[in-house]
Amino acid sequence: MKNTERMIEYMLKIREDIEKEMGKVIIDQKDIIQKLIIALFSGGHTLIIGVPGLAKTLIVNTLAEILNLRFSRIQFTPDLMPSDITGTDIIQEEPEAGKRKFVFIKGPIFANIVLADEINRAPPKTQSALLQAMQEYEVTQGGKTYKIELPFTVVATQNPIEQEGTYPLPEAQLDRFMFSLNIDYPNFEDEVKIIKEKTTSIVPPVKKIIKKEKLVEFYSVIRDVPVSEEVIKVAVQCGKMSRPSYSTIPEVKKYVNWGVSPRAVQYLVIGAKAKSLLDGRPTPSLKDLASLIHPVFDHRVVTNFVAEADGINAHLVVEKIKKVVMRKE
């Protein structure tokens, strides 16, 4: 019990220290930072949707620096090839043996935090180069499999404005992302502060908080968090209610083609476990589920043409599911 209490106190302090250091560089965006921390500590991947200039790259880069993680940024473009992400085999001379051999040169995917910038600008073949790495933590090239060192997380960004020359992410790839987060413009006071601080030559230094080996331990610590039968059943019911063939919610039957997968329900529960620990609590509550259902479900619920005609999006459908299933929350 004492060990559990110490771990809870330790993770709460880690979260507070990270947020304090992030606050030196990033103004506002507290909700985005908190959910990125939850995903990172859970071993999940995150999709961030927002217009250019909202510090998406700076947030991810700063988080990697604070956690002492190797950071890699991949700019997705129409001519980007899968090997530009995963790496490629090159011929290398062996002068002593008088032979040549293929040597695998690792690509930028071999990092701890990988920023896939504007992921929807690359064609599906290139986007799919991330799938194996995101799911299996490994890359296969030339018949050989190469492990990716943990901790490992992919943070992808998307611009919601420009649609010309973009390729929508397939549902199979969207399902690999634990969270989908929408980053919005700062309010007036925060933007004034941003302009003041970012138009000077002063760059505040940030401290490194923990070693990456400790971060890997959190993967299993979070999964070992006890969770009540009620929370599990409510999470499963949320997933079930998103599927038209099962749901009793009229909006789901009318507007949804496909609901969320069991993987989404797993992510919802794992995220709730991580949130409870990072908030200093030993077990997740229904409020934790309610706070995470949108980032977990919104990008997985596939609406139909009727929804588009009626101006209904996945967020509104998920909000209805949340209200029906979690009445008290």
CATH of the domain at 259: 1.10.8.80
Asked whether residue 192 carries a pLDDT value surpassing 70, the answer given is yes
- Using DSSP's 3-state secondary structure scheme, residue 180 falls into strand
Q: Taking residues 290-313, what's their average pLDDT?
A: 95
Which tens digit of pLDDT belongs to each residue from 111-140? 999 999 999 888 888 888 888 899 889 998
Residues 203 and 229 in one domain: no
Q: Please give the residue that has the higher pLDDT: either 285 or 144.
A: 285
- The residue out of 191, 224, 257 marking a domain boundary is 224
Buried b (16+ CB within 10 A) or exposed e, 200-230: eeeeeebeebbeeeebbebbebbeebebeee
**Which candidate, 126, 138, 176, places its Cα nearest to that of 154?**
176
Q: What is the number of structural domains in the chain?
A: 2
CATH code where residue 197 lies: 3.40.50.300
- The residue out of 224, 244, 259 marking a domain boundary is 224
Which tens digit of pLDDT belongs to each residue from 250-264? 999 999 999 999 999
Q: What percent of the chain has pLDDT over 70?
A: 96
pLDDT of 329 reads 45
Query: Considering the chain, what is the average pLDDT of its residues?
Result: 90
Structure tokens at 44: 């999940």
pLDDT of 97 reads 66
pTM above 0.75, yes or no: yes
pLDDT of 271 reads 97
Give the domain extent around 265: 225-329
For residue 179, report the phi and psi dihedrals to the nearest 5 degrees. -125, 150
Residues 198 and 214 in one domain: yes
Residues 142 and 271 in one domain: no
